[in-house]
Amino acid sequence: MYILGIESSCDETAAAVINENKEILSSVVWTQLDEHKKFGGVVPEIAARAHLEKIDEIVTKALDTAKISFSDLNAVAAAAGPGLIGGVIVGVMTAKAIAAVNNIPFIAVNHLEGHALAARILYPVNFPFLLLLTSGGHCQILEVLGVGKYQKLGATIDDAAGEAFDKVAKMLNLGYPGGPWVEKYALNGNPDRFSLPRPLKGKNNCDFSFSGLKTAVRHLIEKLENNLSENDKADISAAFQKAVVDVMKDRMTKAINIFKSHFPEAKDVVVAGGVAANSAIRSMILDLAQENQLIFSAPPPNLCTDNAAMIAYAALERFNLGLINTLDFKPRPRWPLYENYEQS
C-alpha cells in the first residue's frame, strides 16, 4: 500500500510516499528560504505563488524516487490546515485532483497532527502520550489519546516559541530562519550575563507566554544602544534560550504531573514541531522524562521541520481507521488540534 502526502502550509513545498510498513519511500522538500530571507519572514502571497510553481515538480519527484506511479497509490493526503491559506489551497487542490483522476481516497490532514504523530513513524510511542508541540506558529501541551483525539493542557496566550526565536534573531541580525541561528550563537554565549523574565513561570496552569520575553530582549538591545558585538549577540541568545527552556521546563513539569494523574500507566512523552529540533529543549525534556520514569521520544530534525512524510504517515493512521474525507472538504487557515476533529 502506498500513500502520497503533500505539505504546503507555510514556506516548504513537500511531497512524500509512505507504505503500510511505515517506510518512508521518498521525502522531497523544497524550501522557499531564499524567496523570504530578504523580508526576514514568510510573505504569504510570495509563498502561495512559489507553491503553485513547484508543486507538480515536487510530487513527480516524490513518486519517481519511490519508484511508483499515480496508478500505484492507495490514497493521497494533504495538509489541509492550519497555515497560510494560499499555500494550503495549493496542496489541497493538488491532492484532490490526484484523488479524483485516479479514483482513490482523499485524506485531509491537520498539519499539527502530522507533527503530533511523527514520532510514531520511528519509535514505539503508545497512546496515550504527553506531547509538547512547539513550532513557529504553535506552542501547546496536549494529551494525545489517539488519532484525532487530543486534550489540551496548555497553550500560548500570545506568541509561539518559534516566532519568538525568529524575532529575536531578527533583532540581533543573526539570520533567517532564526531558531537555528539563536541556538548556534547561544552555544558560545554566557546565559547568566543578562537577566530576562520567565513569563508565567510558577503559575498554576500549563500555558505559555513569549511576547513579554521578546519585548525584554528588544529593551535590552536598546539599552546597549544597538551597538552589539558578537559576544553581546551570543550572550543575549544564550540568555533568551535559557529563559525559554526554563519556562518550558516549568510548564512541562506541571503537565507531566497532570498527565500521570490522568493516565498512571502511560509511559511516553514526545516533543515535536520545528522548535523541537533545538537541542537544549530536547535535552531538557529528556531529563524531565527520565526523572519521571517516562520514555522520551522526538522525531529526527528532518521530521521536526515541515515535511510531507509526517502528513503521509498521519494519513496512513487515519486510512487504517477508515477516516477519509470527501472532495468538498474546505481548507482551513485555523484548525485547533484539540477541537472535535471529525466535525471540523
Q: What is the pLDDT of residue 342?
A: 42
Provide the grid cell at 234: 551570543
Q: What is the DSSP string of 183-248?
A: HHHHTTS-TTSS----TTTT-SS--B--HHHHHHHHHHHHHTTT---HHHHHHHHHHHHHHHHHHH
Give how far the C-alpha of residue 38 lies from the chain's centroid of Cα atoms, to the nearest Å. 23
CATH topology of domain 2-116+303-343: Nucleotidyltransferase; domain 5 (3.30.420)
| Equal fold, 2-116+303-343 vs 126-298 | yes
> Which strands sit side by side in the sheet containing 149-155, from one edge to the other?
149-155, 139-146, 129-134, 268-272, 295-297
Mean pLDDT of the chain: 93
Q: What is the pLDDT of residue 336?
A: 87
- Going from N- to C-terminal start, the domains of the chain cover 2-116+303-343, 126-298
Nearest to residue 338, comparing CAs of 129, 112, 151? 151
256, 237 in Cβ contact below 8 A?
A: no
Provide the grid cell at 330: 474546505
Rg, C-alpha atoms of the chain: 20
Percent of the chain with pLDDT over 90: 85
Mind listing the pLDDT tens digit for each residue in 316-340? 999 999 999 999 999 999 998 876 5
Nearest to residue 185, comparing CAs of 229, 139, 131, 141? 229
| Residue 42 or residue 233, greater confidence | 233
Provide the grid cell at 80: 489541509
Nearest to residue 167, comparing CAs of 196, 137, 140, 207? 137
Q: What is the pLDDT of residue 322?
A: 97
Q: What is the pLDDT of residue 136?
A: 80
Q: What is the pLDDT of residue 47?
A: 81
Mind listing the pLDDT tens digit for each residue in 2-40? 999 999 998 889 999 999 999 999 999 998 777 766 676
209, 158 in Cβ contact below 8 A?
A: yes
24, 333 in Cβ contact below 8 A?
A: no
Mind listing the pLDDT tens digit for each residue in 192-219? 999 999 999 999 999 999 999 999 999 9
Residue 135 main-chain phi, psi, to 5 deg:
-150, -170
Report the SS3 class of residue 277: helix
CATH topology of domain 126-298: Nucleotidyltransferase; domain 5 (3.30.420)
91, 21 in Cβ contact below 8 A?
A: no
- Residue 139, pLDDT > 80, answer yes
Question: Per-residue pLDDT averaged across 79-88, rounded?
Answer: 94
For 269, residues 6+ apart whose C-beta sits below 8 A from its C-beta are: 129, 130, 131, 132, 256, 259, 285, 288, 289, 292, 294, 295, 296, 297
Question: Per-residue pLDDT averaged across 273-295, rounded?
Answer: 94
Give how far the C-alpha of residue 254 lies from the chain's centroid of Cα atoms, to the nearest Å. 22
Mind listing the pLDDT tens digit for each residue in 88-125? 999 999 999 999 999 999 999 999 999 999 999 999 99
Report the SS3 class of residue 263: coil
**Dihedral over Cα of 33, 38, 41, 44: its sign:** negative
- Residue 304, pLDDT > 70, answer yes
Mind listing the pLDDT tens digit for each residue in 143-196? 999 999 999 999 999 999 999 999 999 999 998 888 999 999 999 999 999 999
- Residue 341, pLDDT > 50, answer no
Percent of the chain with pLDDT over 70: 96
